[in-house]
Structure 1
Amino acid sequence: MRTDDAFVDKLTIEDADARTRRQARELVAGVTRQRRWLDFVLGEAYHGDYDSMEHRLQEILRLGLYELLFQSTPTHAAVDEYVELAKQALRPGAGNLVNGVLRTIDRDREHIPTPDTGDDANDLALRYSHPTWMVQRWLDRFGLDETTELLRANNRRPMYSVRINPLRTSEADVAAWLDEHDVVNVDSPYLDRYLRLKRLQALIAGDLLDDGHVAVQDESAGLVVQLLDPQPGETLIDGCAAPGGKAMHAAARMEGTGTIYAVDRDEQRLERVETAAEAQGASEMVEAETADLRAWAARPEPPQGDRVLLDVPCTGMGVLAKRAGLRWRRSMEDLEEMAELQDELLDAAAQLVRPGGLLVYSTCTTEPEENERRVEAFLARHDGFAVESAEGHVPDEMVSDAGFLATFPHRHRMDGAFAARLRRDEA
């Protein structure tokens, strides 16, 4: 059940202007998020075996139904557009089928059937277009009402956040630029120098981003850096640094003084760290090194950090709203595979923390196997570390009972994330 992005792009944005391309991308992202629900509705309306229908015809029907159900496109315009597309891309008879199915659903849209398989997890997964295994996990953990809210949050158009960079500009200057360019924004309710925006196009087209005056960064990532609390003049090691958002935020909090070792094994992504450091006024304090942290920490006498940030690779189950297709690429087995890597990276990071220093472990997932359980396992292996509560560093509503930072899309209107402060003994 994949969305053929290349096929859709070719059909909808070839030779199009910038606005049309943006609309096409939004349409593809929306169909990708909602495709399980779209397929359910289409399967109920189609008099035949929908699952065996040729893929391109299914894709055209999904696009048309998405416009009917989720966008304000008038019925006649949406139906006519995809009838013509089916005729051109496939054959005349395909256009007749698209016309019949979409108009049938539109005529009876007030009575679109509700999934009723007898399994709550499967019914919710169909209605809110998620894998059933994922929904079952959340039902067991959160219950019906909160799981429903989480599913809805994952399907909303994402809100974007930008961080104002004090090394390059002031809040007043950024506010003036946004007003001049009619960019609607509101202050973050959780973080200073953060703004929430519905769209980024004006910033991308303008010079604020290129000049390093602002950086696109979710508030959950900003809260991780706030939990890290780097200070001017310190040595910071960012163990999985690319593409550099947290390192740049740390540089701003360090007021441009001190040293940041930005380590990442992906050379191309690490180049983005160096580019960001140059743009954001932090190049003199950032030392980028291409290396796997495990090998880097195993070198003779590696650097010791006052603070070490380990933002590990994870399943990304806290960022499903922004990464439309990720939910379809994840499986239960990924949790176990990620946990093994996360443990190895934690062990490597522990070697880099100076006595009395701080290690912050963070993820962009909501799942305990990658979060709390990794910290518990780490502490069992390293008795020289102890948890410090996130209380006092981040809003109380985001501090878990165990003292960890935990954000959720449906509770805080930001990405789901986790972070733990782990203090090394002085000895």
Structure 2
Amino acid sequence: MAEQIISREFKNRWINFYGKNVTERILRELEQSDPRIISPNALYTTRRQLQESLESQGFRFAPETPFNCLILEFEPFNIVATSEYLSGLFTIQALTSLIPPKCLNPSSESVVADLAASPGIKTCLLAEVMENTGTLFAIEKAKKRIPALKSNIARMGIYNTFILNCDARSFPGLNVKVDHIMLDAPCTGTGLKLKKNKRLERRILNDVTRQSLIQREILDEAWKQLKIDGTIVYSTCSLEPEEGEVQINNFLARHEKQVQVLPININIGNPGNLTRWTKVYDSQISNTRRIFPDQGMDGFFIALMKKVRE
């Protein structure tokens, strides 16, 4: 059972923050497997064209298509062996991967930075939204993760993207302010299903402290590089408040009147809430979004923020 391999510390803090009933649902759902989600590459195909092509080979999909995706129900052979996959007509990803690029929604002429880019799925989705134009910087600290990033960008036919192997906490010397930033931040991953996060059973509270500090440092550096009226989307696949609502609440306190938290226009999840954490917090937190694993996706937190003049 998920309860037996998640530390009692984490279970108890979830109960304190989310309540016993929600925690029990989370623990049950963390054991479940997700279906494979197929996202058509809008630069080169449509959902209908892709579905018809794959169904002609025996693949079957659920009738519902959230976010213009396909939910795979049956595959006669591994779908990554199809010519459609190899030629970059689709990606396989979690539904939550679709949310940050769609919320950021950069225009085709934007200058955009993806600050934790590998393996590149969200980077490619950003490039699709940008119609493969503008300028997209894909920043990745870990050198060993660069090959996967390069491979996905090449396979998907993306050519507006520059890959930078550097630490986003010391923003590279681009000598340019950016219009939009996507930060799907490094995190504890406690919202991921167990099959995706083998480290969950070994997580300790110090991991939350360490990751939240890294997130804070990246956020503050990113904010310096963002243009006035620019936007940043911050997300984590963590259920820990320090990596979600608390992180953004502290960010708002540091930057005061410079930040406007924009509403997240998706029909899933719950408004961010800190009432179980503290009696005093910024009212803009309600514009963030908290998704639980029992809501059809991985556990996820997302905030969309605009930089305004003081």
TM-score by length of structure 1 reads 0.65
Residue matched to 2:260: 387
1:294 to 156, 166, 169: 169
Identity percentage over the alignment?
A: 25
Q: Tell me, what secondary structure is at the counterpart of 1:157?
A: coil
Matched, 1:340 2:229: no
Once superposed, which parts of structure 1, at least 4 consecutive aligned residues long, lie more than 3 Å away?
A: 187-190, 198-201, 396-401
Aligned counterparts of 2:195 and 2:124: Cα–Cα separation in 1: 21
For residues 295-328 of structure 1, what are the alpha-carbon distances to aligned partners after superposition, in whole Å with 9 as ceiling and x for unaligned?
Answer: 234x3x6321110111111000111333252221
1:309 to 145, 158, 182: 182
The structure carrying a bigger strand percent of its residues is 2
Contact 2:29 2:193 in 1 (8 A): no
Residue matched to 1:7: none
Contact 2:112 2:179 in 1 (8 A): yes
Alignment of 1:51-200 (within 5 A): 125-126=3-4, 129-186=5-62, 190-192=66-68, 194-198=69-73
Residue matched to 1:424: 307
Q: Which amino acid aligns with 1:158?
A: D
Distance 1:273 1:149, change over 3 A: same
Residue matched to 2:226: 353
Following superposition, the deviation at residue 357 of structure 1 comes to 0.5
The structure carrying a bigger helix percent of its residues is 1
Q: Which amino acid aligns with 2:31?
A: N
Larger radius of gyration: 1
Q: Which amino acid aligns with 1:422?
A: M
Aligned counterparts of 2:242 and 2:64: Cα–Cα separation in 1: 30
Distance 1:259 1:289, change over 3 A: same
Aligned counterparts of 2:18 and 2:169: Cα–Cα separation in 1: 35
Aligned counterparts of 2:52 and 2:31: Cα–Cα separation in 1: 33
Superposition CA RMSD, Å: 2.1
1:277 to 150, 153, 160: 153
Aligned counterparts of 2:300 and 2:168: Cα–Cα separation in 1: 22
For residues 163-197 of structure 1, what are the alpha-carbon distances to aligned partners after superposition, in whole Å with 9 as ceiling and x for unaligned?
Answer: 110112222221112212222222555412x1222
Distance 1:398 1:232, change over 3 A: farther
Q: Which amino acid aligns with 1:417?
A: F
Give ranges in structure 2 of 5+ residues lacking alignment: 274-285
1:228 to 85, 89, 104: 104
Q: Which amino acid aligns with 2:287?
A: G
Aligned counterparts of 1:249 and 1:218: Cα–Cα separation in 2: 12
Following superposition, the deviation at residue 344 of structure 1 comes to 0.6
1:205 to 68, 72, 81: 81
Give ranges in structure 1 of 5+ residues lacking alignment: 1-33, 37-124
Following superposition, the deviation at residue 341 of structure 1 comes to 0.8
For residues 257-278 of structure 1, what are the alpha-carbon distances to aligned partners after superposition, in whole Å with 9 as ceiling and x for unaligned?
Answer: 1110001111231232222222
Following superposition, the deviation at residue 330 of structure 1 comes to 0.7
Aligned counterparts of 2:262 and 2:171: Cα–Cα separation in 1: 29
For residues 17-69 of structure 1, what are the alpha-carbon distances to aligned partners after superposition, in whole Å with 9 as ceiling and x for unaligned?
Answer: xxxxxxxxxxxxxxxxx4x8xxxxxxxxxxxxxxxxxxxxxxxxxxxxxxxxx
Q: Tell me, what secondary structure is at the counterpart of 2:52?
A: helix
